[in-house]
Amino acid sequence: MNIGIVCYPTYGGSGVVATELGKALAHRGHQIHFITYAQPMRLDRFQDNLFYHEVELPNYPLFEFQLYSLSLASKIADVARFENLDIVHAHYAIPHAVSAYLARQILGSETKMKTVTTLHGTDITLNGLDPSFLPLVRFSIEQSDAVTAVSRYLAEATKNGFNVQRNIHVINNFIDTDLYQRQPCTPFKRQIAPENEKILMHISNFRPVKRVADTIHIFAKVRDKVPSKLVLIGDGPERIECERLSRELGINEHVRFLGKQTALPELLSSADLFLLPSQSESFGLSALEAMSCGVPVVATSMGGIPEVISHGETGYIAELGDIDRMAKYAVELLTNSKKWQLFSANAREKAISKFKTDMIVPQYEQLYESLL
């Protein structure tokens, strides 16, 4: 099949999943065309059957704001026409699904191209529910030939929030368990924890919804009982405030801000525990990456997280903002080596048995084939 993939090329979950899906589909023999304003950050090496088409934005004084959605629609139509696309797969409803619909209208009878929209989270639970976007998001969902969501929670939230009656296929996020597996990382671990302290880790875009400040408060309580270090990976608007908070709590020398990183399997392999105290998570991809590396997770019970983390087996789940309970769970795992080993093994096993790439990608293939 000739498949166009439209996504954000950033470090966010939707862009990561879209890029990894494209790479997996290309490996399975499909022709994959990425259409976006910058090269996806995980598209970092040559691979057969992978092509990138950059969306160019007009620079004209009359246009006070960039017209990305229109430029994207035009580019999709152009690629679809000359590459004979069978499918355009839009990841994230705004503006990708709308642009895909417009591209198909531009082509009219020239194409039999089908459109698939995958909903990833904030395009539904946050941005999409804004009154200025809601009618547009509902329209794009209704006009797509197929719609998928990354969790049961998100599928139900979409149906309830947008009052749509159509079927939404639940196709979970996935993980390359061969890449994301625990590996020796003595130099990094020795640098971060020279006294063999426990390492707690958090990865996010440092937006308010991730509640990174809660991560720091949890760590402060854990640090009182367990010699430990906190490693924070990522960047975003909350980082400066989190740096200030760590200094205010007097733990800044035990907290390391690493910024954006690409060597996640190596870094996760050094962790003893992963913290995810988010206010909202449609799935929790970072938790799955940690689990695949044998790292137990302590998280909130929000959104799709309970579909990924098995409470009392692969980690623990607490109510939003319950810092004391999450700290208690963390201490329990970090001070009980037998329980940690069991949770670590369970986490790895669940990643392999439920979310391995080879189990999930064929579900997308079957969906494409059913449309064609």
What pLDDT digit, counting tens, does each position of 214-254 carry? 999 999 999 999 999 999 999 999 999 999 999 999 999 99
Residues 22 and 157 in one domain: yes
Q: How far is CA 211 from CA 218, 236, 276, in A?
A: 11, 12, 8
CA–CA distance, 139 with 149 (Å, rounded to integer):
16
Residues 89 and 118 in one domain: yes
299 contacts 309 by C-beta, under 8 angstroms: yes
In the predicted model, what is the mean pLDDT of residues 287-291?
97
| Contact partners, residue 79, CB within 8 Å, separation at least 6 | 4, 33, 35, 53, 85
What is the reported pLDDT for 128? 46
Q: Does 320 score more than 90 pLDDT?
A: yes
CA–CA distance, 40 with 226 (Å, rounded to integer):
39
Residues 206 and 143 in one domain: no
Q: Please tell me the total count of domains within the chain.
A: 2
Report the CATH number at residue 261: 3.40.50.2000
Residues 261 and 293 in one domain: yes
In the predicted model, what is the mean pLDDT of residues 208-212?
94
| Rounded percentage of the chain residues whose pLDDT exceeds 90 | 77
202, containing H or E segment: strand 198-203
Residues 363 and 350 in one domain: no
Residues 42 and 93 in one domain: yes
Residues 244 and 142 in one domain: no
Report which of 323, 313, 260 is spatially closest to residue 291, judged by C-alpha positions.
313
Domain that holds residue 17: 2-174+357-371
Terminal-residue alpha carbon distance, the chain: 10
Is 121 part of any domain? yes
Residue 47 binned pLDDT confidence (cut-offs 50, 70, 90): confident
Q: Which residues of 68-95 are buried (b: 16+ CB within 10 A; e: fewer)?
A: eebbbbbbbbbbbeebebbbbbbbbbbb
Is 180 part of any domain? no
Residues 313 and 218 in one domain: yes
Residues 351 and 363 in one domain: no
Residues 158 and 15 in one domain: yes
Residues 204 and 346 in one domain: yes
Residues 194 and 340 in one domain: yes
| Contact partners, residue 219, CB within 8 Å, separation at least 6 | 200, 228, 230, 251, 254, 255, 275
